[in-house]
A = this chain, B = another copy of it.
């Protein structure tokens, strides 16, 4: 796909993966336009010019982040739909995969956060991918309703609610915090699916300690 040949050289600190992961984190924290290439370079302990050896420009960096996020999301969906399971179970799987992927690989990337940040060509491509993802989600929800598993509702609005909850995760997720990615994925998927299912499903995953003890929050973006 790209010119990578013998890139895993000796002192090659800078891999495409590392650059993408760090960029995504900084983009999420400070916004695309609020992030300077020096910010990213500093987070990678290199200079700005070193980045330009690996990536074409800043916009391309953002594009790759979006593309990766979409790929993770779609992969989760395809896996879930391939399983012979009821819609609620499929939805739970798809969401769980997406959330874990976002948290682990990217520390999250927000899809199309800032309009006008991507070039028109890239914008179209990402919008197309995002629409596909949203369609898949709505179709799954509508199917669940038709099958009598889900409560009647507007799949579009509920889909937006689900995506909002998931896309917001990078805003508060702290890899060093008390909640690990799999735990979050499980809790979110359970809660978000439970709002749709007709049958009273089993209890949501409870916190490790008492519910009251969990009220102390992660400071999230306070601590930076």
Contacts and interface: CB of A to CB of B under 8 A. Distances in A.
A58 interface: no
B179 A157 contact: yes
A151 B211 CA distance: 11
Interface in A130-174: 131, 134-135, 138-139, 142, 145-146, 151-158, 160-169, 171-172
A198 B131 CA distance: 34
Interface stretch (A3-11, A13-21, A86-94, A201-209): A201-209
A116 interface: yes
A192 B194 contact: no
Contacts of A138: 214-215, 217
Instruction: Give chain A's interface secondary structure class.
Output: helix
Interface of A: 29-34, 112-117, 127, 131, 134-135, 138-139, 142, 145-146, 151-158, 160-169, 171-172, 179, 184, 187-188, 190-192, 194-196, 198-200, 203-207, 211-212, 214-215, 217-218, 221-222, 224
